[in-house]
Structure 1
């Protein structure tokens, strides 16, 4: 008799547990759906700022491939945003941001390299000039 009572209690307990888990799953789904419904406007602002910084740093000249990737992904993100595909829009905007940051760093590195070359050329010219005046 005790065994039957315990089985009944365990059965009720697992049913209650199942209902709690189902309610938790539904609640989590609703929360996630609510988050998915929010446009990633903050990410877009960050991405646009990164793209503008990359352009200002000379990304279009010194890192054309990376700049094109950033600009293309930003356009794709805008289309996804328009279509209310907010998760896709956010992902594309994040990728565009990183492409823009790579372009900016590459442009800065290329400019620095060019400055070093110009400085070395200037030093070489000064050496040559000083040798001419000594002879």
Structure 2
């Protein structure tokens, strides 16, 4: 008698697991499809704002414009309740904005380096002029 109940108990347990998995998957998919990607939109807006405020329109114009355009498209998809597409566009816009921010930072660092090198060269030349003046004054005496 125990041999007959054990397979039935395992079969019932397996059936429950499959049913729970199916229900959980359905709820997960329904949750993703039915909810607006509010958090992603907020993160994306913040990233785009950072790209613009850091100077992205000057140093990474293409990437910044792409991020802004994709954000606008995502907002339109959100209004149309196409949440999957809105989320996809928002994610792309976020990454474009992050690329723009990093490119801007690199361009600013490169400009600062060039400015520092130019300042060093000017100081070096000024120092050489000062040394020449001292030599010519010494020769005149």
Question: Same-fold call, TM > 0.5?
Answer: yes
Residues in 2 aligned to 1:24 and 1:108: alpha-carbon distance in whole angstroms = 47
Tell me the TM-score normalized by structure 2: 0.77
State the superposition RMSD in angstroms: 2.2
Q: Which SS does the other structure have where 2:81 is aligned?
A: coil
Residues in 2 aligned to 1:98 and 1:42: alpha-carbon distance in whole angstroms = 15
> How many residues end up aligned between the 2 structures?
124
Query: What does residue 8 of structure 2 align with?
Result: none
**Structure 1 residues 32 and 114, CA gap change in structure 2 (3 angstroms):** same
1:58 aligns with 2:55: yes
**Correspondent of 1:131 among 117, 123, 128:** 128
Q: Which runs of 5+ in 1 are unaligned?
A: 1-12
Q: Which runs of 5+ in 2 are unaligned?
A: 1-10, 133-141
Q: Which has the larger radius of gyration?
A: 2
**Correspondent of 1:36 among 18, 25, 33:** 33
Q: CA deviation at 1:55?
A: 1.1
Query: What does residue 45 of structure 1 align with?
Result: 42
Residues in 1 aligned to 2:28 and 2:118: alpha-carbon distance in whole angstroms = 62
**Correspondent of 2:87 among 83, 87, 90:** 90
Tell me the TM-score normalized by structure 1: 0.80
Residues in 2 aligned to 1:53 and 1:111: alpha-carbon distance in whole angstroms = 15
